[in-house]
Chain A
């Protein structure tokens, strides 16, 4: 249930503006990969190209290849809808559907892909997904209540439950803890650790301690200046990036000397 991602010579444009330049990266299955870097360096933009969510922004386009176990996401005839059902995403701010109950939120994606699902199967899936997101014990007595009534951290875990309910190959997380308090952050980090047993996880974070805590590999992105494209500076094992980086800019960033 998890696949590898290989990115080859990827450029991302907003209309004519080159936002991210020439990224090559290989992400292993069943691992956690963190993208770090200063604001505006293109890491979130790049993350979105991994499930074609950047296409939501008018004028955004890519050149190059993103291979999911060898299949190009940008190949001819590939439907972005199919791509997104295999590569799930969790956003910066928790975004459960406010008009749906907790239960319906978990089932939202499943009902899209598989219209017929029996009540028993649905119940089992809801429990499995919520347990997978470490949320079951907190919400099992109020599944019919709206998801927007939960705390921020619980909402974010509900979004993770919703993402894993469709059994994706890869889960992308765009700064999933930046709107959360430390306790909720800890809960999400524990969860990320569990998730990598089954899924390929890619996480963008501003918090370097978080990257060091949760990831197996870390990629450092940077920009030369305003208006310049973001680039992948260095990619390697997390402990190497944090203790013995080979590029000066990486060392400056992880040691807090800029950014």
Chain B
């Protein structure tokens, strides 16, 4: 008798389970399919440029000679953006989560979130019309006093429309992303661990170093990677701010170019092999972003044992 009552199952509940697991599986597969589709499109469309004879590619020296300066330019802009944005974002997030009085904290958090809502073209216009002009005296000073460092070799750009300006604009754009994410992580630090540090005689800053930052480590890396994703892919702001040119080591001269801006500026008038070349550039950007994300994953999992998740 008991066996029959056990083998009977509630039909409706089981059906709900099946529908739900089916829906989640479909959603997961859809993501993979979209990713695969994009990759396939990029490879197929880029193929002509990759196999074309070198003299037919823009610049006349083949695809590799065309792509590597703008890859380096993209990375320079992204590195500048993250180098500026990461410490500021973590500082602001810590201030909001652990130092500011409650009223100020929520107001400040709101303002930071608003920064993310500004369209990138507005940032671009602000960078080109305002920041570039205001910052060019600084570039002149850098050229005069720090000119022996290749990064600050003069003569400085008169308009200020340099890769450094573009990097600063990108930094402002990725700041809200990193700040919001890290703030949420810092707020989730277990009270127990914070109190453990304080009870040992830690100051507030020492408590943050002992309990908050280690706990948030994986989250900080993820937040920075999301910011990096935006910095790598940002098109409009860079296209407006940067007066592009050949690859140059100096950050305060005009020159350099990023992949995204290169595609945006040239795509409307491109045809034939030129289109393939630009799509190939897009493929390279795709691969870079993928690589960056994989490295981030690796960094996060490397210390899994110590993550506090077990």
Contacts and interface: CB of A to CB of B under 8 A. Distances in A.
A110 B206 CA distance: 12
Contacts of A53: 195, 198-199
B308 interface: yes
A162 interface: yes
B307 to A, nearest CB: 7
Nearest to A101: B306
B36 to A, nearest CB: 37
B214 interface: yes
B211 interface: yes
Given A98-B215, A99-B217, A112 B202 contact: yes
A84 B195 contact: no
A96 B214 CA distance: 13
Interface string A141-155: 000011011000000
A148 B190 CA distance: 14
Contacts of B303: 99
Interface stretch (A26-34, A87-95, A243-251): A87-95
Interface in B37-76: none
Interface in A110-161: 112-113, 145-146, 148-149, 159
A109 interface: yes
Q: How large is the interface on B (under 10, 10 to 19, 20 to 34, 35 or more residues)?
A: 20 to 34
Nearest to A90: B199
B306 A100 contact: yes
B193 A95 contact: yes
A49 interface: no
A112 B196 CA distance: 13
Contacts of B215: 98-99
Nearest to B191: A56
For A58, A98, A100, the residue with the greatest tally of chain B CB atoms inside 10 Å of its CB is A98
Given A99-B215, A163-B200, A148 B308 contact: yes
Nearest to B216: A99
Given A146-B305, A162-B196, 18 more contacts: A51-B199, A56-B194, A56-B195, A81-B201, A81-B202, A81-B203, A84-B201, A88-B200, A89-B199, A97-B210, A98-B193, A98-B214, A98-B215, A99-B214, A99-B217, A99-B306, A112-B200, A149-B305
Interface of B: 102, 190, 192-203, 206, 210-211, 214-215, 217, 303, 305-308, 310
21 contacts: A53-B195, A53-B198, A56-B195, A56-B198, A58-B102, A81-B202, A81-B203, A89-B199, A95-B193, A95-B195, A98-B214, A98-B306, A99-B307, A109-B200, A112-B200, A112-B206, A146-B310, A148-B310, A163-B199, A163-B200, A166-B201
Interface of A: 51, 53, 56, 58, 81-82, 84-86, 88-89, 91, 93, 95-101, 108-109, 112-113, 145-146, 148-149, 159, 162-163, 166
